[in-house]
Structure 1
Amino acid sequence: MSVACRFLSSALLHRATACLSMTGCRNSCSNNRQMHWIRQIGTVANAPAVCARPVNLTYDVFDGKGDKTPLVFLHGLFGSKSNFQSIAKSLVQRTGRKVLTVDARNHGKSTHSPMITYEAMTNDLTQLLAQLRIGKCILIGHSMGGKVAMTTALTQPNLVERLVVVDISPAPTTPLTNFPAYIQAMKDVKVPNDVPRSTARRLAEDQLRKHVKERSVRQFLLTNLIEEDGQYSWRVNLEAIGNHLKDIMSFPAFNTSYEGPTLFLGGTNSAYISSEDYPEIQRLFPCADIQYIPDASHWIHADKPLDFISSLVAFLQS
């Protein structure tokens, strides 16, 4: 399948100057209905954390009345399922679909493990979906979660009806990140016990500022600061993430492809999906379309939530 040049005149989106053709991809119908949502919280009990065996994942379900294929959101590095809470509620109302948001291993309230690779995270997700009796889903993954979603689609295509990859590509991302500095800065933070949470956040941010210059990034990292019995700590497993950062920044090698409808959604102010990535995207995802949301950074869903939701709804209806 050749690379086709095309543009979208919508005020919300403009596509890449070189986009992948959607020819031959499956179509689906979707009716926009107003639905209520019911928030459920649960943890699936899985195998112990040994090698790449599944671990317990914490999840939220936002349940619509429709019986269409559910949406499953996977967050990025240092994120959590709460990153997509408002997005999930809106999509239930817009589409009537059940929406599942998941904490990755070593993130949020999910189980910690010394291993964090895409094989391991894909096994976690597969086990979770099996436990919840979800035989097919629409995977939506941001950054690290996008790589988990791609890995799942490439290894278990029958499980993925459609795929959305948010501001990441199947290419190494190491040159684009300052994550080693972020990890060290977080490890170096010292907060006294039994101080108010507002004081703890201020002290932690002051200490992060030296190595994390962007305020938005500091605020994002601080979402991981938790208090238990008067003591403050990071809920992410910094040791495991640091030990496997090379794995997280890379992407497994595949000789297979995922033939289902796929959307790569990038931000125009981000460098995570570049034209240099298009050939590999086309090789692995021949039914992929690449779109960019104007004035959005790497955190598209936070910068432009309405445009992000509109893009997802349009893709589901295509």
Structure 2
Amino acid sequence: MKLHSTILGEGKPMLILHGFLGMSDNWKTLGRQFAEEGYQVHLIDQRNHGRSPHSDEFNYLLLARDVKEYCDSHQLKDCVLLGHSMGGKVAMLAASLFPHIIEKLIVVDIAPKYYAPHHQQILEGLQAVDEAHLPSRGDAEDLLAKYVKEEGVRLFLLKNLYWKTKGQLALRMNLESLVKNIEEVGQALPNDATYSKPTLIIKGERSNYITAEDEKDILSHFPVAEIVSIPNTGHWVHAEDKKAFFTAVMQFL
């Protein structure tokens, strides 16, 4: 699958994978900062997200293989691979399957464990927006607010809107496939998946995605991992404190 990406800067390749229902645009500001530090930053839309192709099939093995295919097609090696949430799970699996092309791994606020589905309300809201064929972003936000109370999460989700035709908004993501395959998003990393090169796990101090009990599990898959907690941040740690996040990544690199 030929993934869509935005490439910034020149130098060592750094691939950035967004989370579930996100897109590469979410990482533009940080991407530019990494590019200024001498990295060629590849902001990637994963399948069924952003401007990348749509597919009925959606699971972590396919997503990890998409990353490998992307590296092959762009002739990338010795890559830094960074992923947030769902993108972090993809990054973990890709690094364990293809360690010869991944030199360093950075995982943001996700553990290798299974997570029960917890996006139902958001998906219902997006389906309502998709089916309403609304004429303005304001109307879309008003409708989504009935399902998603947090303004920050709403604005993040509404970045997926685009003008399909004059006067009609639509969502870029393949919502039908994502709803159908929602069970896949929470799947655990396979028990035998390991990656023994430099690994950084960044967690939000106020996020419940990585608990103290998860650290042993993390180290069983990633034996040299260092785990860094960013104060006063939740799951969207990179958006909530860009400066501290950028500093933590650059210190590791």
Normalized against structure 1, the TM-score is what? 0.76
What residue is the counterpart of 1:18 in the other structure?
none
Q: How far apart in 2 are the matches of 1:127 and 1:85?
A: 23
Shift in CA distance, 217/234, structure 1 to aligned 2, threshold 3 Å? same
Q: Which amino acid letter does the alignment assign opposite residue 276 of structure 1?
A: E
Q: How far apart in 1 are the matches of 2:193 and 2:178?
A: 28
Q: Which has the higher contact order (CA 8 A, sep 6+)?
A: 1
What residue is the counterpart of 1:211 in the other structure?
147
Name stretches of at least 5 consecutive residues in structure 1 with no aligned partner.
1-54
Cα-to-partner distance string for 1:235-277 (whole Å, 9 max, x where unaligned)? 1111111111111112232314210010100111111111121
Is 1:170 matched with 2:112? Answer: yes
What residue is the counterpart of 1:26 in the other structure?
none
Q: Which amino acid letter does the alignment assign opposite residue 188 of structure 2?
A: F
Q: How far apart in 2 are the matches of 1:185 and 1:113?
A: 22
State the identity %: 35
Q: Which amino acid letter does the alignment assign opposite residue 139 of structure 2?
A: L
Q: CA deviation at 1:192?
A: 4.9
Q: Which amino acid letter does the alignment assign opposite residue 144 of structure 1?
A: M
Is 1:224 matched with 2:168? Answer: no
What residue is the counterpart of 1:59 in the other structure?
5
Q: How far apart in 1 are the matches of 2:113 and 2:147?
A: 26
Once the two structures are overlaid, the 10-residue window that deviates more, 240-249 or 141-150, is 240-249
Does the CA-based 8 Å contact 1:181-1:211 persist in structure 2?
Answer: yes
Match for residue 303 of structure 1 among 232, 236, 240? 240
SS in 2 for 1:70: strand
Q: How far apart in 2 are the matches of 1:286 and 1:263?
A: 11
Q: CA deviation at 1:56?
A: 2.0
Q: CA deviation at 1:191?
A: 4.4
The structure with the largest helix share of the pair is: 2
Match for residue 70 of structure 2 among 128, 143, 146? 128
Does the CA-based 8 Å contact 1:268-1:293 persist in structure 2?
Answer: yes
Q: How far apart in 2 are the matches of 1:254 and 1:172?
A: 11
Structure 2 counterparts to residues 90-239 of structure 1, below 5 A: 90-93=33-36, 95-174=37-116, 177=118, 179-189=119-129, 190-192=131-133, 195=135, 200-230=136-166, 231-239=168-176
How many residues are treated as equivalent by the alignment?
251
Is 1:293 matched with 2:230? Answer: yes
Name stretches of at least 5 consecutive residues in structure 2 with no aligned partner.
none
Is 1:246 matched with 2:183? Answer: yes
Q: How far apart in 2 are the matches of 1:126 and 1:243?
A: 25
Q: Which amino acid letter does the alignment assign opposite residue 201 of structure 1?
A: R
SS in 1 for 2:65: helix
SS in 2 for 1:157: coil
Does the CA-based 8 Å contact 1:191-1:203 persist in structure 2?
Answer: no
SS in 1 for 2:58: coil
Does the CA-based 8 Å contact 2:89-2:189 persist in structure 1?
Answer: no
Q: How far apart in 2 are the matches of 1:205 and 1:124?
A: 32
Q: CA deviation at 1:62?
A: 0.9
Is 1:284 matched with 2:230? Answer: no
SS in 2 for 1:100: strand
What residue is the counterpart of 1:268 in the other structure?
205
Does the CA-based 8 Å contact 1:191-1:232 persist in structure 2?
Answer: no
Normalized against structure 2, the TM-score is what? 0.95
